[in-house]
Chains A and B, each alone.
Chain A
């Protein structure tokens, strides 16, 4: 190679070298530039600029560091870097809406963020440092951030009993239990009761084949023009417990054939005394008398009737038991009489109490039911069904098992089904890739899946056996929340320790009380040591609260002065002996440990004390704003006309000292009374006597408050 050419090449080489050096430099420079431009660093810087624009800069930037912040909780296996960008979550001054996210303060919650981290409630990928990776579902991480609308689900993962702060979750759990989801699915924290659907062993003795046909086709019978019904004045889409199954005509016919021949335990016909029938059958007031007795016995505390006023259909009455608007067209009249006299003979697990019927009442009420509570058009759409053929019965038998009917209904001689549907106890922690979306055009995430499945089970799985429910949006969201809370067994022992288990409520009645308690089904409405319904006052401390004589009188004739109460205690026609048994047991056993009857002696009260108490009541504390005495006053608290004949002085004193210690969620304000004032008020209340018995407030209705506007 000539020398001059070598020089030329060298020049070219130099040029190439220079250019590649430049490229190399540029590439090297990109790296710090990229690092500078990282998403979280941008948030760090903008927080600093934001804080400097505010008057409390010093406090806002006290913990500031330019690096990644993280909450590391080794015990929970948790590394949350969320605070890298969400830097103001503990700064109380950043609560205002004008503060831009992600800097706003976390709303006040009972848990400390530093001790709990973020992802334990909000889910998402804690160690991620990019917005998308932290919040969304990625290939490597399928637990996206839980939408805040369902955040109560996270409370429910650990708190297995209901909290007052989480009404949506509580409603969802209640719906899951009420709609009998546990019939087919295993779910955490929702037990299988003794009876889900009615026992159908003798259904053939109760209703006709035509009625079964109608029921299987459309279990809802009371609808207004929009397809809605209202219960207790609140508009709800009250669902019959029985959901709608997608059944073909042949299947319905086969099932009706099979069910109409179920007559395992024929009822014993009861003959009403001919003297009663003779006296009343010609009486024009028979039906109106029957209706009156129906009302007086407060059947509507548990059962509802549809009432149409001004074109609007409402269900009036309770939802503990079936609505009865058309029951006269449903059941066999002979069966009705036998049922009313002894419901447990037909359905061993029914909550219907056994009333002490006189023949006269029984005749009047059954005549009322079979004449007035009827609808001649009820079975109008039903084709003529003949006596069932054997082939149809066989097919019906097979379908009864295949459709999962035996999950909720019992038929003698058929094995009950358990876990017919998938186990849902870990549904809330499932990844999207574990779910079957079918051809549904919905976002592939857990929330959309649950909602689509609930709204229309066929949309995500054409072969779904799950029946069809109708939901309003609030209930759908509540059930979704409850399902999202079920994340299965905790992954680590540290998480296991966080679980707040449900308080196991058990109450076992004993002795002669047990027999009466079981017969009248007291626990359907009342709570005893945490066990029982919440329709009526909790009786756990009733023995400390009420005087024995008052209890006896009340049980025999449960009158109330509360005009606003729809749901009242039924009249059981209780015998003296039963009333005495219940009153004795309540006053002996249902005692509050902090109320000492011996600590207050009613004899120490002087008229002067009572006069002072009256003044305190009327002037200083103005108790009349909520309590009624003698026809004037408010009706938020119970009527006190008969306080002296109703309450024990020890209870009044303890109550005035601290009402929430006796009834934790009582709305009675806890005041700062002096001991002297308490004595005076007690003395005054003990002087109040009247021959009428006051009732407790309808504290249960408070539960309905949620979700309904108070305004007009």
Chain B
């Protein structure tokens, strides 16, 4: 009798196990170094440090190095920068102390409409007709990514909620 009970219990356990347990459960995504390595930009103050860029930031980097680098960096792909020719001196793109205080909307406006429309130097030309709004947003995203000191987005902190 006891053996019977035992056998039945074992059978039940085996059945449950057979139906549920024996399939490999999908594990949480392993950290793949290739997946983690996005496009990147060296920190302007410390070229040994690489800043990873998201897709949008990488697109902003592309636009930056075509249109903005000539006045908003100290060295350009063609050599010396035009920055020293200008008064007032334009901020470096990674100048967090200056740019972190400005909202995304403000930066979007000054790039789109130019400096004179925002009460700043007319030396900053408007790019709203040469660049799309999406391209301008991506440049701002790139600015935020390379800012030193680092940029903290305003508003409430992100949700701590996790899917798992």
Residues of A whose CB lies within 8 Å of any CB of B are 19, 22-23, 26-27, 30-31, 34, 39, 43, 46-47, 49-50, 53-54, 96-103, 107-109, 130-132, 135, 147-150, 164-165, 167-168, 233, 447, 564-566, 619-622, 625-626, 633-636, 659-660, 665-672, 697-698, 701-702, 704-706, 708-712
- Say whether B151 faces chain A, with CB atoms less than 8 Å apart: no
Q: How far is the CA of A602 from the CA of B66 in the complex (A)?
A: 34
Q: How far is the CA of A43 from the CA of B43 in the complex (A)?
A: 37
Contact, CB under 8 Å: B26 / A704: no
Q: How far is the CA of A670 from the CA of B91 in the complex (A)?
A: 22
Given contacts A30-B20, A698-B78, A710-B65, contact A621 B158 (CB under 8 A): no
Best-surrounded residue of B44, B79, B158 (most CB of chain A within 10 A):
B79
Q: How far is the CA of A121 from the CA of B122 in the complex (A)?
A: 43
A/B interface sample: 19 pairs, CB < 8 A: A30-B19, A53-B159, A54-B159, A101-B163, A107-B55, A109-B55, A148-B38, A564-B78, A564-B80, A622-B121, A625-B82, A626-B82, A666-B130, A672-B129, A709-B47, A710-B74, A710-B75, A710-B76, A711-B44
Contact residues in A for B12 (Cβ distance below 8 Å): 22-23, 26
Q: How far is the CA of A23 from the CA of B70 in the complex (A)?
A: 77
Contact of B8 (CB < 8 Å), options: A19, A660, A665: A19
Contact, CB under 8 Å: B161 / A50: yes
Contact, CB under 8 Å: A701 / B78: yes
Q: How far is the CA of A516 from the CA of B162 in the complex (A)?
A: 69
- Say whether B143 faces chain A, with CB atoms less than 8 Å apart: no
Contact of B37 (CB < 8 Å), options: A96, A149, A626, A667: A149
CB-CB nearest in chain B for A667: B67
Nearest Cβ on chain A to B50's Cβ, whole angstroms: 9
- Say whether B149 faces chain A, with CB atoms less than 8 Å apart: no
CB-CB nearest in chain B for A110: B134
Contact residues in B for A565 (Cβ distance below 8 Å): 78
Contact residues in A for B93 (Cβ distance below 8 Å): 710
Contact residues in A for B108 (Cβ distance below 8 Å): none
Given contacts A667-B70, A712-B44, contact A167 B161 (CB under 8 A): no
CB-CB nearest in chain A for B111: A669
Given contacts A447-B34, A625-B123, contact A711 B74 (CB under 8 A): yes
Nearest Cβ on chain A to B160's Cβ, whole angstroms: 8
Nearest Cβ on chain A to B69's Cβ, whole angstroms: 5
CB-CB nearest in chain B for A135: B29
Given contacts A147-B34, A672-B129, contact A712 B74 (CB under 8 A): yes
Given known contacts A99-B159, A164-B66, A620-B122, what 15 new A-B pairs fall within 8 Å (CB)? Answer: A23-B8, A30-B16, A46-B163, A53-B161, A99-B158, A100-B162, A565-B78, A636-B82, A667-B70, A669-B130, A672-B129, A706-B65, A708-B77, A710-B73, A711-B74
Nearest Cβ on chain B to A239's Cβ, whole angstroms: 21
Q: How far is the CA of A213 from the CA of B96 in the complex (A)?
A: 56
Contact, CB under 8 Å: B78 / A670: no
Contact bitstring B79-101, A, C-beta under 8 A = 1, else 0: 11010011000001110000000
Q: How far is the CA of A626 from the CA of B162 in the complex (A)?
A: 50
Contact of B56 (CB < 8 Å), options: A54, A107, A672: A107
Q: How far is the CA of A147 from the CA of B35 in the complex (A)?
A: 5
- Say whether B54 faces chain A, with CB atoms less than 8 Å apart: yes
Contact residues in B for A99 (Cβ distance below 8 Å): 158-159
Contact, CB under 8 Å: B62 / A164: yes
Contact residues in A for B121 (Cβ distance below 8 Å): 622
Contact of B38 (CB < 8 Å), options: A109, A131, A149: A149
Contact, CB under 8 Å: B125 / A711: no
Contact residues in B for A46 (Cβ distance below 8 Å): 163-164
- Say whether B71 faces chain A, with CB atoms less than 8 Å apart: yes
Contact bitstring B4-45, A, C-beta under 8 A = 1, else 0: 000010011001100110001011010010110111011111
Contact residues in B for A666 (Cβ distance below 8 Å): 130
Contact of A34 (CB < 8 Å), options: B20, B24, B123: B20
- Say whether B119 faces chain A, with CB atoms less than 8 Å apart: no
Q: How far is the CA of A33 from the CA of B158 in the complex (A)?
A: 33
Contact residues in A for B20 (Cβ distance below 8 Å): 30, 34
CB-CB nearest in chain A for B41: A709
Best-surrounded residue of B161, B162, B163 (most CB of chain A within 10 A):
B163
Contact, CB under 8 Å: A705 / B130: no
Contact bitstring B143-164, A, C-beta under 8 A = 1, else 0: 0000000000100011111111
Contact, CB under 8 Å: B62 / A660: no
Contact residues in A for B70 (Cβ distance below 8 Å): 626, 634, 636, 667
CB-CB nearest in chain A for B34: A147
Contact residues in A for B74 (Cβ distance below 8 Å): 710-712
Contact residues in A for B134 (Cβ distance below 8 Å): 108
Q: How far is the CA of A667 from the CA of B78 in the complex (A)?
A: 14
Contact residues in B for A622 (Cβ distance below 8 Å): 121-123
Contact, CB under 8 Å: B71 / A636: yes
Contact residues in A for B45 (Cβ distance below 8 Å): 711
Nearest Cβ on chain A to B141's Cβ, whole angstroms: 9
Contact, CB under 8 Å: A665 / B15: no
CB-CB nearest in chain A for B93: A710
Contact residues in B for A43 (Cβ distance below 8 Å): 163
Nearest Cβ on chain B to A416's Cβ, whole angstroms: 39
Which 6 residue pairs are nearest across A and B when measured between Cβ atoms?
A: A98-B158, A711-B44, A710-B73, A705-B65, A625-B123, A705-B77
Nearest Cβ on chain A to B147's Cβ, whole angstroms: 12
Contact, CB under 8 Å: A633 / B85: yes
Contact of A665 (CB < 8 Å), options: B66, B86, B138: B66
Best-surrounded residue of A49, A168, A564, A666 (most CB of chain B within 10 A):
A564
Contact, CB under 8 Å: A149 / B157: no
Contact of B125 (CB < 8 Å), options: A108, A148, A671, A712: A671
Contact residues in A for B123 (Cβ distance below 8 Å): 622, 625
Contact of A702 (CB < 8 Å), options: B37, B66, B85: B66
